[in-house]
Structure 1
Amino acid sequence: MAGNFKMLAKTFYGFEPILAKELRDLGAGHVKEGVRNVTFEGDTGFMYKANLCLRTALKIFKPIATFKVLNEKELYQNVNRINWPKYFDCGKTFAIDTTMHSDVFNNSLFVSQKVKDALVDKFRAVERQRPNVNTHDPDVRINVHLYKNFCSVSLDSSGSSLHQRGYRIATNIAPINEVLAAGLLLSSGWDGETDFMDPMCGSGTFLIEAGMIACNIPANINRENYAFMHWNDYDDELHNKIVDASLNKTREFHYKIIGYDKAPSAVRKAQENVDNANLSEYISIERKDFFRTEKPIDAKLHMVFNPPYGERLQIDVEDFYSKIGDTLKQQYPDTNAWLITSNLEALKYVGLRPSRKIKTYNGKLESRLVKYEMYAGSKKAKFNPDGQEAKS
């Protein structure tokens, strides 16, 4: 597997340009945006680095075969031709993940079974034994993608999704996905050059991802396992060099990251996660009701939060979202406030005009990331020399 090869990184809808920029900044070659994915080229060390450092990638695939397929016999034969013992040995467990938009097949489980049969038969022919299937927690994941009459077979270098960073040990009712949180932060322009706040922090995901971006800490530094570690060509020394080199690029952060939540359980869980991510030096969390707070600093503030939508957490939507607008307007001057919601009707009750709206998804829910710019001096009324209140 020496030299550069093509890879594919999966991401969420709308994050393709952000992921492409991340890849270019890391040094990837031939970066090309797709739909919910970005293709690129790099060597084995870069594959390790991509898994470690990319904030908006869900998976990193390494394609190993592409072929035309018109029936199940051709599928079996082409998969059986792949030299599977080159990639992993019989002592490893494996699983097949199939995605398809096929003119030939209509059952992904059937395709996975056929691929499994072809792979196992190859091992039996070459090694006289076979690896076992483990659909729950396999050592090796193989991705099969069928589109019309073409099939692509890839090794999944990540294993479990890269949103599983390894720091979040406690969650609340509606936790936000870590990759989604990072993508929303980057979409909002967060760069660590101001103070940051999440006034409804839940289990602390925005706070932690914001801290890791601000300090340029690799996104998956707390993660201990990747599927590529179970491949035959895994180079532990090279991987350790990549980790050390990435950690040497961290930077100091000279501002504050502040989290509020009114639920004691949320504050406790968020603090546990922050401690687990080794970011307690930069992040402070307090039990506070956002609607009863005022801006805790005089400087510019960058705010990103995920308020309840009325889906899993029951709220009076009109009252709740109007309070968001009132609190921002009255108590948070000089603040760029971003929020994500799937309740598009709720945005009407905020009572503020957003300066930006970005379409995204939270799980399967179509959502909007919206920006409200609260200007400096908007908190306190200004007065004319004659003592009359002036319009600001």
Structure 2
Amino acid sequence: MGENFKMVAKTMHGFEDLLEKELLQLGAQDVRKGTRNVSFRGDKGFMYKANLCLRTAIKILKPIRYFSIRSEKELYEQVYKMPWDKYLTANDTFAIDATVSSTQFTHSKFIALKVKDAIADKFRNTEGKRPNVDLKFPTLRIHVHIQHNECTISLDSSGGSLHKRGYKTATNIAPINEVLAAGLIMLSGWDGQCDLLDPMCGSGTIAIEAAMIACNIPANINRKEFGFEKWQDWDVDLFETIEDSVLNKVREFHHHIYGYDKAPSAVHKAKDNVRNANLSEYIQIQQANFFETKKETEGKLHILFNPPYGERLHINMEEFYAQIGNTLKHGYADTDAWFITSNMEALKSVGLRPSRKIKVFNGKLESRLVKYEMYAGSKKAKYLDNNS
């Protein structure tokens, strides 16, 4: 299929273990965990597969050059020397993303500007014409990473962030990121072996990501485009072969996924998004106030949700979290209930003891994914049953 090369999958803080496991299951080689990233090796077909399938990756980068620098002038010179005609023509467009972690190089926008100048000048001097910058839909998105004095230039094979799955046309206030939703489902241990409920479903992201996990549907099968589709070595036949092979691994799901929201507008948007993802047969969205519901299904239930934190929605958080605890306690026996919050003070008002707390980040907000185990009958009775 072609020779292997190094790639770097970027992720959210705390999801490195999940991403490492995903890559190993896909068949990546030389998998190594970093901070908010996992590096690996594979061929072009595997790059296509990683973009299609990885649930917890934000971007897949292909490093093409490493060098040390001591000044912006050296950065310009090193970038200028690179054979950019292998990746771009003067009629193409490009965009630069830069991240810096250095005492000497501190302004990522200035670094991006120097790299842009070097590429543009190279084309102008060799061909008399330069490619233009297009920040939204470039032919080639280039990633610059500077750590201390070490610089890595990479091609962004994903294009836009991989959390943009392609199924979401409508969102509500404070929507959950798709990569975060998938990671929370995986961290909670749900594997499609029982019903799942998101009682505050908003635009339906958790329910949709759960259905895709349960059915083993590739995370990004609904995306309109990946960055590599504009590359000079784009191989549409290879991509379609990879796409067919991953779709052949889709499986049936024998339980149900439910989403509640009390806002009619949210319910309407969630139903639209479920339909866009072609998952209507697996997901039921209903208008309901969670605090007025009780468990309606037989057997074990898995709850996962993203309640308001008080960051953007202004409500009495202590009272709200107390209602969460009361609803779980009185209406949801035989349930594992998980939710994410950054409001540690309000969390105390739930009135139940979490059996697990996992540190995660929602954007820049340090948060906790907490688990409450609601037993069928009392905990003591459950213990006696198990030990009789």
TM-score normalised over the length of structure 2 = 0.96
Is residue 293 of structure 2 the alignment partner of residue 293 of structure 1? Answer: yes
Which residue of 2 is the match for residue 349 of structure 1? 349
1:46 pairs with 2:59: no
Query: Does the alignment pair 1:219 with 2:219?
Result: yes
2:72 aligned residue: 72
Q: Counterparts of 1:1-392 in structure 2 under 5 Å?
A: 2-378=2-378
Instruction: Return the alpha-carbon distance in structure 2 between the equivalents of residues 125 and 376 of structure 1.
Output: 75
Query: C-alpha distance in 2, partners of 1:82/1:3?
Result: 21
Deviations 1:338-390 (A, max 9, x none): 000010111111011101000011111110000000112359x99xxxxxxxx
Deviations 1:263-310 (A, max 9, x none): 101110000000000000000011111111110101111110011111
Pairwise CA distance, 1:223: 0.1
Q: How many angstroms apart in 2 are the aligned matches of 1:167 and 1:355?
A: 34
CA distance in 1, matches of 2:70, 2:255: 59
> 1:333 touches 1:378 (CA, 8 Å); kept in 2?
no
The CA distance in 1 between the partners of 2:329 and 2:89, in whole Å, is 61
- Report the AA paired with residue 204 of structure 1: G
Query: In the alignment, is the contact (CA less than 8 A) between 1:306 and 1:341 conserved in 2?
Result: yes
- SS of the residue 1:345 aligns to: helix
**In the aligned structure 1, how far is the partner of 2:72 from the partner of 2:164?**
35
Contact 1:103–1:149 (CA under 8 A) maintained in structure 2: no
Q: Is the 8 A contact 1:260 1:290 kept in 2?
A: yes
C-alpha distance in 1 between matches for 2:108 and 2:206? 35
| Map of 2:386 onto structure 1 | none
Distance 1:90 1:376 in 2: 67
Q: Partners in 1 of 2:290 and 2:109 — Cα distance?
A: 48
Deviations 1:155-174 (A, max 9, x none): 01111100000001111011
Provide Cα deviations, 1:241-277, integer angstroms capped at 9, x if missing partner: 1111110000000001011111101110000000000
Amino acid in structure 1 at the alignment position of 2:367: S
Q: Which moved more, 1:289-298 or 1:108-117?
A: 108-117
Q: What's the CA shift for 1:81?
A: 1.5
Residues 227-250 of structure 1 deviation map (CA, whole Å, 9 limit, x = unaligned): 111111111110111111110000
Q: 1: CA distance between counterparts of 2:46 and 2:96?
A: 24
Measured against aligned partners, the alpha-carbon deviations of 1:55-77 in whole angstroms (never above 9, x if no partner) come to 00000100000001011221111
Is the Cα–Cα contact under 8 Å of residues 89 and 232 in structure 1 kept in the other structure? no
The structural deviation recorded for 1:126 is 4.1
Please state whether the residue corresponding to 2:133 is helix, strand or coil: coil
Which secondary structure does the structure 2 equivalent of 1:176 belong to?
Answer: coil
My pick for the range that moved more, 17-26 or 83-92, is 83-92
Q: Which amino acid aligns with 1:348?
A: K
What letter matches 2:198 in structure 1?
D
Q: How many residues align?
A: 381
TM-score for both structures, normalised by structure 1? 0.95
Q: Deviations over 1:198-251 (max 9, x none)?
A: 011010000000000000000000001111111111111101111111100000
Specify the alignment match of 1:389 in structure 2.
Answer: none
Tell me the distance in 2 between the aligned counterparts of 1:2 and 1:81.
Answer: 26
Q: State the distance in 2 between where 1:348 and 1:72 align.
A: 50
